[in-house]
């Protein structure tokens, strides 16, 4: 359980563990500066009593016996104008694991405790520096694996979604105020439907919420990447296609069928599309135990994918093995047929194939037709990441946000149904709107519980 009162001082290593040029230990809390003063010395060995706000100071970090640990740069940042809203100290040392851990141990010995995952960001939220959407966006930005997903996380960090949620809550609060007038002043005979246009206003809010819910599909694909399974029989060029898209020799390519025996997964931004490419083992009947396991994993990837690239050797045409794989794909509407080896001449052409969601002719070896493949994926998913990120529409990427928006929408629908049926009890309408307000409030953090915060911030890395 985290310290929700934020009364103690926390510390953690803020840079990745391992060898590096620089390592940073971050301290936050009322004792951050006193701890720094105890362990920091000038180059000549003197204590420093005054640290100028936000100014790096060069010196020596010493241990409990006064022995130097490392030459460091230290900076003190005075509350409340800091990330956490508290006094913050950062100690910048050389990045060796021994040095950085020794500095942290000394900081903990001097009175700080080790921060839990996400605790610095949680304090920023609790101290009103950011809302809950922005806190989650920080984690998304750290975990982003493509430029597009990083841009989308940055938009949320800048407050695009937060502003939209607050605007919707303000509109619901206005509606609620009118409804409560009917409760507080019944002698005025306030007609909820006629005078307040409550139903119309609720429908407008509902429409905006439903647009946000619908945006989750695009947001999820951009945040997590489009899962693309490359499927086909052995030796049709699946690994060559993966290498052509990645523009590097990631997968081993040989003339021997069955070279790929396990799935290979790579993340790449491909012509603006954030892809999670999965090169699978060739699907065929096999007596080889290891190869069979690879084929089983290929079939699993097939079920979980957003897009399937069904690769055949176009210079040979459809074989009996290809047709068996086609049967597996029969019920799926997300299959793009890839006619590979166009450089050898094709015996089947895309204009003669109608049973798939898309088709493209390529030469993975010559890297021809690869741009057209990106266009087919975009068309199939109706997804243009550049316009999504740069456009004015607000996009959600979190399942938590989607669920809460769905609950808010259901509460508003109940209120609209009550008005449509002529049941206009102000008390019941007010209860439905309260439920919608509560769920919207949970998104940005106006309504929170300790359990909810524990779940959200436990996903963060230590030091953030």
Q: What is the pLDDT of residue 312?
A: 92
Q: Which pLDDT does position 393 carry in this prediction?
A: 85
Alpha-carbon 97 to chain mean position: 29
C-alpha distance across the termini of the chain, in Å:
17
Which domains, ranges and CATH numbers included, belong to the chain?
Answer: 10-131 (3.30.1360.120), 145-219+398-444 (1.20.120.430), 227-388 (3.40.50.300)
pLDDT band at 258 (very low <50, low <70, confident <90, very high): very low
Higher pLDDT residue, 464 or 369? 369
The region of weakest confidence among 116-130, 156-170, 176-190, 232-246 is: 176-190
Please say if the pLDDT value at position 331 is more than 90.
Answer: no
Return the percentage of the chain with pLDDT > 70, whole number.
87
Q: What is the dihedral of CA 388, 393, 398, 400, to 10 degrees?
A: -160
Query: Could you give the CA distance from residue 395 to residue 152 in angstroms, rounded to a whole number?
Result: 8
Residue 188's pLDDT band (cuts 50, 70, 90): low
DSSP calls for 263-291: -EEEEEEETTEEEEEEEPPPPS----HHH
CA distance 100 to 6: 25
Each residue of 39-56: pLDDT tens digit? 999 988 899 989 999 999
**pLDDT (average), residues 358-376:** 91
The mean per-residue pLDDT over the stretch 243-256 comes to: 60
Task: Name the nearest CA neighbour of 36 among 56, 14, 19, 15.
Answer: 56
- Which is nearest to 280 in space by CA: 376, 266, 53, 97? 266
Q: Which of 27-31, 120-124, 144-148, 188-192 has the lowest mean pLDDT?
A: 188-192
The residue-averaged pLDDT of 149-177 equals 92
- What does the DSSP 8-state code read for residue 53? B
Specify the pLDDT at position 161.
94
Adjacent-strand bridge partners of 68: 62
Average pLDDT over residues 152-159: 90
Residue ranges of alpha helices (H) inside 225-349 are 238-246, 289-304, 320-328
pTM of the model: 0.81
Report the C-alpha gap between 269 and 225 in whole angstroms.
Answer: 9
The rounded Cα 127 to chain-centroid distance in angstroms is 24
Give the residue-averaged pLDDT of 366-378: 90
Region 436-444: what's the mean pLDDT? 95
Closest CA to 163 of 392, 357, 458, 386: 392
133-138: average pLDDT: 93
How far CA 356 is from CA of 126, 127, 139, 350, in Å, comes to 52, 54, 38, 10
Average pLDDT over residues 134-160: 88
How many whole angstroms separate alpha carbon 173 and alpha carbon 265? 48
| Of 181 and 31, the one with more pLDDT | 31
Q: How far apart are CA 51 and CA 142, in angstroms?
A: 31
**Interval 287-306 mean pLDDT:** 60
Tell me the pLDDT band of 281, cut-offs 50, 70 and 90. low
The pLDDT tens digits for 392-430 are: 789 999 999 999 999 999 999 999 988 887 766 777 888
Q: What is the mean pLDDT of the chain?
A: 85
Query: What is the arithmetic mean of pLDDT over 58-80?
Result: 95
How buried is residue 274: exposed, middle or buried, by Cβ count under 10 Å (0-12/13-18/19+)? Answer: buried
pLDDT score recorded for residue 287: 44
Q: What is the pLDDT of residue 182?
A: 64
> Which one is predicted more confidently, 266 or 191?
266
- Closest to 304 (Cα-Cα) out of 354, 359, 263: 263
pLDDT of residue 253: 39
The count of other CB atoms within 10 Å of the CB of residue 256 is 9
Q: Give residue 150's pLDDT.
A: 86
Closest CA to 213 of 441, 442, 408, 453: 408
pLDDT mean over 350-361: 89
For residue 186, pLDDT beyond 80: no
């Amino acid at each position: 359980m985290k310290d929700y009162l934020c009364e103690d001082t926390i510390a953690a290593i803020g840079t990745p563990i391992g060898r590096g040029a620089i390592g940073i230990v971050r301290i936050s809390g009322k004792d951050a500066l006193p701890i720094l003063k105890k362990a920091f010395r000038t180059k000549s060995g003197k204590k420093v009593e005054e640290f100028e706000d936000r100014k790096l100071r060069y010196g020596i970090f010493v241990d409990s016996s006064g022995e130097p640990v490392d030459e460091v740069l230290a900076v003190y940042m005075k509350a409340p104008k800091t990330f956490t809203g508290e006094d913050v100290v950062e100690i910048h040392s050389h990045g060796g694991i021994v040095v950085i851990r020794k500095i942290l141990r000394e900081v903990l010995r001097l009175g700080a405790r080790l921060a839990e995952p996400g605790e610095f960001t949680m304090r920023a939220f609790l101290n009103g520096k950011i809302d809950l959407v922005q806190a989650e966006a920080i984690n998304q930005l750290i975990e982003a694996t493509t430029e597009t997903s990083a841009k989308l996380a940055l938009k949320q960090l800048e407050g695009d979604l937060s502003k939209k949620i607050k605007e919707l809550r303000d509109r619901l609060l206005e509606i609620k105020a009118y409804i409560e007038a009917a409760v507080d002043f019944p002698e005025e005979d306030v007609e909820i439907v006629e005078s307040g246009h409550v139903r119309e206003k609720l429908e407008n809010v509902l429409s905006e919420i439903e647009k946000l819910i619908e945006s989750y599909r695009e947001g999820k694909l951009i945040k997590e990447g489009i899962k693309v399974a490359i499927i086909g029989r052995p030796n049709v060029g699946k690994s060559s296609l993966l290498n052509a898209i990645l523009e590097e020799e990631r997968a081993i390519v040989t003339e021997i069928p069955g070279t790929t025996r396990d799935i290979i997964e790579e993340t790449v931004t491909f012509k603006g599309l954030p892809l999670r490419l999965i090169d699978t083992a060739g699907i065929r009947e096999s007596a080889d135990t290891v190869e069979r396991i690879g084929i089983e994993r290929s079939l699993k990837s097939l079920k979980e994918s957003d897009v399937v690239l069904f690769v055949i050797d176009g210079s040979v045409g459809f074989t009996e093995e290809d047709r068996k794989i086609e049967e597996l794909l029969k019920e799926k509407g997300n299959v793009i047929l890839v006619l590979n080896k166009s450089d050898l001449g094709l015996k089947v052409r895309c204009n003669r194939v109608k049973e798939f969601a898309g088709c493209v002719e390529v030469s993975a070896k010559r890297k021809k037709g690869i741009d057209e493949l990106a266009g087919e994926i975009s068309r199939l998913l109706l997804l243009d990441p550049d316009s999504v990120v740069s456009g004015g529409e607000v996009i959600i990427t979190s399942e938590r946000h989607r669920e809460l928006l769905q609950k808010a929408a259901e509460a508003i629908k109940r209120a609209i149904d009550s008005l449509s049926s002529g049941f206009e009890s102000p008390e019941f309408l007010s209860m439905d709107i309260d439920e919608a307000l509560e769920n919207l409030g949970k998104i940005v953090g106006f309504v929170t519980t300790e359990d909810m915060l524990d779940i959200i911030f436990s996903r963060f890395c230590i030091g953030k």
